[in-house]
Amino acid sequence: AWNLAYAVELATTSLTVAELVGGVVKYAAISLVPPTLLVFVCQFTRRTDLMTRSAAVALAIEPIWVVTMLALPSTRELIRSYEEPLAADVVPLVASGPLFWIHYWYVQILLIAGCTLLLTSLARLPRTAGPQVRRMLLALALPWLVNLVIIFRIGGFGRFDATPAAFAVFATVLLWTSERYALFDMVPVARDLVIERMSDAILVLDDERAVIDLNPAAVDLVGREKAQALGTAAGELLRAVPEVRALLDNVSNLAARTELELANPDRGVVHLDAVATRLPSPASLAAGHLLVLRDVTERKRLDAELQRLAHFDTLTGLPNRKLFMDRLSQGLARARRDGTPLAVLFCDIDRFKRVNDTLGHAHGDALLREVGSRLQHRVRQGDTVARFGGDEFTVVLAQLSRAGDAALVARKLLAELDAPIDLGGMGVQVTASIGIAVWPRDGDDQETLVRCADMAMYRAKALGTNQVAFFTSVIGRRAATRHRLEDDLRRALTADEFELAYQPQLSIDDTGAPGQVVGVEALARWRHPELGTIPPGTFIPLAEELGLMGELGCWVLRTACR
């Protein structure tokens, strides 16, 4: 509108038309340029909070005042007037009235406000927007320079006003850069900021696979200044030439991924998850690559720690029950393939509860650690010692020459435990009971062999302390009977299978009648419906282990009193 009105002003020789078009229309357009620029900048810099209704009303006052002054002949010359008659072949020379400078500074103040907001926003843009920012700044400077030359008639220029043309160029560049490069779009700005500040290392490679850009995280990772890193081949920079070459060779339309290890001067070995993506160039057939490196060292450490916790005992550092069963499964597979005997040893520390009760659990834990260490020290490298639970340790002895060798190893283990263990300045003598089960004689699977070794260990305990016992069929039958009795004993208390036998107590006091009955002893008897009478020597210890003595004692007392 400004350019069109100025063209009409230059083309006419009618003073009335020139004054109305060149004054009213042109100045209306001039007055609208600064507010329009300000609104535009506020929109694209996301500062719409500045454009309130009150601000819009304030911005409209001055244009209305100027247009009104120019429309009235009595006040027109207070704004502008022609210094000489209009001629078709001469550009008119315009004189500024006293009120012109109010309009001038109104326009300048709004332009300064809009340009300041624009420059502030441009300064916050990432470095990647540098070329576009420079173009915009040059376009912004053009109308200012032209307007200064015209207003103050510098160098004799003053007749032809190129300001509207300069503003048209500026507006075109502003719109083009805003739309083409989305300079004030928060998405690309945010992306650039994220890339600069993200913890993942990002390297941009050219078609020769040399580094042409990298973010601060990549600078820290490679341990070089950015200027030194630029131009260096990615594989050489990461000190992993074959791995990086293979990764980039495998990039197709999709991203390729691999794991790298980088020796960082400050952090030691760093584990990286590397992802490479092809970056096609629109200008040529050549393509670069985007290499994203994520530090997974801590994750690797945590994975290893979780793996250790899942398979190893936290107290002794020995394999736990899960890993032991896995090793036993592998040992059985080899034993079946080679036909060599395999033995499982079940070791239980004698009277361990007494150590915990008298010395405390801290000393009990120290004892378990020392026992585990001694057992581990005594076996072969291919054998497995595990903490099975509590004070129980298990051992897999693979590829034995004969089954009897397992007893020799068991005796060596007991001898290893023979030396006193220092617990808080006190020497504690440790003994253990070891049960042995042998493949294939005692079982063909993991669970059976462990169960047989466990039963043999209880047989060793029955023989005394520091004993070794092989599993036998007799032990198996006794264990089966014991297991059955455990279940039946719980049922017997409620099924009235117990009865009392009364044994008389006779006086032997010379003062009394010899043989006089002075009382009776009530003795519990278990009449098992299938096994017959179970002697007290069998079921009383069993009741003590199962915690049933209180209930059995109450039954005896009630029955005897009744």
Q: Which residues contact 185 (CB under 8 A, 6 or more apart)?
A: none
What pLDDT does 336 receive? 92
* Cβ proximity of 276 and 248 under 8 Å: yes
* Cβ proximity of 189 and 126 under 8 Å: yes
Q: Is pLDDT above 80 for 136?
A: no
* Cβ proximity of 474 and 492 under 8 Å: no
- Counting Cα atoms < 13 Å in the Cβ hemisphere of 222 gives 27
Average of per-residue pLDDT across 213-220: 86
Determine the residue type at 447: E
Phi–psi pair at 442, nearest 5 degrees: -100, -10
> Confidence band (pLDDT; 50, 70, 90) for 13?
low
- 469 forms beta bridges with 435
* Cβ proximity of 385 and 376 under 8 Å: yes
Annotate 386-431 with DSSP letters as a single string: EEEETTEEEEEE-S-SSTTHHHHHHHHHHHHT-S-EEETTEEE---
Instruction: For residue range 148-204, list pLDDT tens digits in order.
Output: 776 676 665 656 676 777 777 777 776 776 665 555 555 555 566 677 778 888 888
- On average, the pLDDT of the chain sits at 81
Q: How many CB atoms lie within 10 A of CB 115?
A: 18
Structure tokens at 441: 């004689």
Which strand (E) or helix (H) includes residue 164? helix 163-181
Q: How many CB atoms lie within 10 A of CB 318?
A: 23
Q: Is pLDDT above 80 for 550?
A: yes
Tokens 């078709």 found at: 88
Cα-Cα-Cα-Cα torsion 549, 554, 555, 559, nearest 10 degrees, comes to 140
What pLDDT does 482 receive? 74
Instruction: For residue range 196-212, list pLDDT tens digits in order.
Output: 778 888 888 887 888 88
Which SS3 state, helix, strand or coil, does residue 315 take? coil
For residues 332 and 384, give the distance between their C-alpha atoms in angstroms, rounded to a whole number.
13
> Confidence band (pLDDT; 50, 70, 90) for 406?
very high
Distances (CA, A) of 179 to 37, 39, 133, 170, 184: 16, 16, 13, 14, 9
* Cβ proximity of 309 and 301 under 8 Å: no
Structure tokens at 535: 């002697």
For residues 234 and 260, give the distance between their C-alpha atoms in angstroms, rounded to a whole number.
13
For residues 368 and 361, give the distance between their C-alpha atoms in angstroms, rounded to a whole number.
10
* Cβ proximity of 320 and 228 under 8 Å: no
For residues 254 and 211, give the distance between their C-alpha atoms in angstroms, rounded to a whole number.
21
Instruction: For residue range 260-291, list pLDDT tens digits in order.
Output: 887 776 777 888 888 888 877 554 455 688 88
> Confidence band (pLDDT; 50, 70, 90) for 319?
very high
What pLDDT does 288 receive? 82
- On whether the pTM is more than 0.75, the answer is no
Q: Is pLDDT above 70 for 420?
A: yes
Q: Which residues contact 428 (CB under 8 A, 6 or more apart)?
A: 355, 359, 367, 420, 421, 422
> Confidence band (pLDDT; 50, 70, 90) for 107?
confident
For residues 479 and 475, give the distance between their C-alpha atoms in angstroms, rounded to a whole number.
6
> Confidence band (pLDDT; 50, 70, 90) for 478?
confident
Whether the bond between 440 and the residue before it is cis, its omega within 30 degrees of 0, is: yes
Q: Where are the beta strands (DSSP E) in 265-383?
A: 268-280, 287-295, 342-349
* Cβ proximity of 33 and 5 under 8 Å: no
